[in-house]
Structure 1
Amino acid sequence: MTRCLLIVLLAASSTASAVVIRHDVDDSKYRIPESTFSALVDMPGEGHGVLIDPRWVVTAAHTIPRHWEKKQVVINGIARDVERVVVHSGYKKPSQDVLDNALASWDWMLFWAQLTASDDIALLKLAQTATDVSPSGIYEHKNEFDQTVRIIGKGATATGATGYEFSSSRRTELRQAYNKITSAHDRYFCYVFNDPSEALPLEGGAGGGDSGGPVLINTEMGWRLAGLTSWSAGLRSTRTSTGQYGSIICNVRLSHYKEWIEGVISEQPRAGGRRSGF
């Protein structure tokens, strides 16, 4: 995609220091060691995925490089060959006409409407089983609304007071933050990056390059993968930076894709169909 899509897509090669943080909290409180979440997958250049099975990675479809000559991802610091890519058949990029109109008027409503109608999810099959990493369990319930989530990524970073520039680095240090889900329906759930007067102690939001990264919900069984960072509806007045307070970040809702994921992994396609990326 064009550089302009950096305004709304928090992604890797085709388009959200990592995780945008509160300006009144020291950055060191957000930083975490790589070992904290070893199931995190680094896509080429930028963007993430999550290991959910010893042979399978789930990611946002728009993180898949358009031309991926050396099909590899990095997990736990080790490069792993990718044997197969399965992109959901319902994944659709926003049309160029709608994008051009949005850039001219800075009215992104139709652009966002196209994003919400797209199934931004893909699965990668590793060539070899990842025996050194424990896969993340998936959160299968549909009660995400109003729950606190944990966001992990190493994309662009800044504070909510300033946001980050399009030119900011999209592969930095690993960070985590927390937020509360404000809407959950169908393909996506979203949260608002609030200013300090309404924020959680370590509130934050995904940054550019965090796409496909984990959004986790804590359960009796530990943290479970509820979603994947996908796209952001930033402030209408923000033309030069994103990630400011008030931004809304939307995430692929994995409970919606439970049957599709299970069908692909079991080699028995179910609802939603599929197509191979290669």
Structure 2
Amino acid sequence: MKWSLAFCLLAVSTAAGAVITRADVDDAKYRASASAFPALVDMPGEGHGVLIAPQWVVTAAHAAPMQGMEDEVAIGGVARKIKRVITYPGYKKLPNQLVTEALASGDLSKISAFLASSNDIALIELASPVTDVTPISLYRGNKELGMAVELVGKGATGNGTKGQDAHSAHRTVLRRAFNVIVGDDARYVWYRFDPPPSALPLEGITGSGDSGGPLLVGDGSSRQLVGLASWSKYPPDHPFWKTWAPDRPFVEGLYGEVVYAVRVSSYIPWIQGVMSASAER
């Protein structure tokens, strides 16, 4: 099975998805004001998280600040000091060797197995509570399949016909798009980038630069966090594989790509346990 090599490379080095849009819809319709989602957290350089409690941010583990990076994140345009980062027990970073082998052979099966079995989630405890931004509630049910969801991000962009612009910056303006969850398992929910005419009016997916960004259900103050942008793939029967070879540039973000988001509902006991233990210290 072939998986998104573009994501694999990003996962090794840094955070990976910005909003990639329909080719037949004006990009301006996807753009949102900076105040549209104040609980969005900007990681150092690129990548996102979500404020879920006054002193807590949840993100994808591979997008979380690592030792040697800046010790601040931005929420509502304001820098916030980090107290500590807690990754899910057993989380492992994608080994460089797997990527090297995939680049040489074009066989991404080992990477696909690694990512599918990864618990890609982390919590960030802030040095002090955030009092000027309202946290987002967590979705606590188990009925994600079939949900219409909203995704937001500030990373690189492109469209479903040409794919993601390889030269686009990974920190741009805020965009939002919509999609429908078509699958789930214990770790992930996933959605597909459908082309018109079957696509939603503002159909989109995440691309490069916004791992850890939110997948949301509801609107306004009733929004709940369902998922966190994590990784993507082209299905094995996708037309892209008929022409691609390891020595050719990989194009991410074409119609038919499937994006996986961490299934937040599966990790609520862990999230609650970490926050409760911190409060008792």
State the partner residue of 1:196.
196
CA deviation digits over 1:79-134, x for unaligned, max 9? Answer: 00001110111211233343223222323232111101111000001111100000
1:260 aligns with 2:270: yes
Equivalent residue, structure 1, for 2:218 = 218
Separation in structure 2 between the aligned mates of residue 69 and residue 105 of structure 1, nearest angstrom = 33
Distance 1:30 1:10, change over 3 A: farther
Structure 1: gaps (5+ residues):
270-278
For residues 16 and 87 of structure 1, the distance between their equivalents in structure 2, rounded to whole angstroms, comes to 17
1:68-107 alignment to 2 at 5 Å?
A: 68-107=68-107
Once residues 150 and 219 of structure 1 are traced to their aligned partners in structure 2, the CA distance between those partners, rounded to angstroms, is: 9
Cα distance, 1:165 vs. partner?
4.0
SS at match of 1:267: helix
**What CA distance in whole angstroms lies between the structure 2 residues aligned with 1:12 and 1:47?**
14
Deviations 1:141-187 (A, max 9, x none): 11111111100001110111111244421000100000011111111
Distance, in Å, in 2 between the alignment partners of 1:12 and 1:19 is: 21
Aligned to 1:276: none
On the 8 A contact 2:177/2:205 being kept in 1, the answer is yes
Q: Is the 8 A contact 2:156 2:208 kept in 1?
A: yes
Q: Is the 8 A contact 2:179 2:205 kept in 1?
A: yes
Q: What is the TM-score of this pair, normalised by structure 1?
A: 0.89
Match of 1:129 in 2: 129
CA distance in 2, matches of 1:27, 1:6: 23
Give 1:113's aligned residue. 113
For 2:15 and 2:96, how far apart are their aligned partners in 1?
A: 13
Please give the alpha-carbon distance, in whole angstroms, between the structure 2 residues aligned to 1:217 and 1:54.
21
What's the counterpart of residue 164 of structure 1? Answer: 164
5 Å-filtered alignment, 1:19-98, equals: 19-98=19-98
Amino acid at match of 2:257: S
Distance in 2 separating the partners of 1:59 and 1:43: 9
SS at match of 1:114: helix
TM-score between both structures, scaled by the size of structure 2: 0.88
How far is the alpha carbon of 1:77 from its aligned partner? 0.5
Separation in 2, partners of 1:188, 1:90: 16
Partner of 2:251: 241
1:260 maps to amino acid: W
Identity across the alignment (%): 47
Aligned-partner Cα distance in 1 for 2:37–2:167: 27
Equivalenced residues, count: 266
What is the RMSD of the two structures over their aligned residues, measured on CA atoms?
2.3
Q: Is the Cα contact below 8 Å between 1:14 and 1:65 reproduced in 2? A: no
State the AA in 2 paired with 1:222.
Answer: S
The 8 Å contact of residues 39 and 51 in structure 2, kept in 1 or not, is answered as yes
Counterpart for residue 251 of structure 1: 261
Using the alignment, how far apart are the partners of 1:225 and 1:22 within structure 2? 24
State which drifts further: 220-229 or 177-186: 220-229
1:65: Cα distance to partner?
Answer: 3.5
Structure 1, 137-146 or 50-59: larger mean CA deviation: 137-146
Q: Is the 8 A contact 2:228 2:261 kept in 1?
A: yes
Do 1:11 and 1:47's aligned partners in 2 also have CA atoms closer than 8 Å?
no
CA contact (8 A) 2:5 2:250 kept: no
- Offset at residue 217 of structure 1 (A): 1.2
| Aligned 8 A contact 2:182 2:191 in 1 | yes
Q: Does the 8 Å contact 2:17/2:207 carry over to 1?
A: no
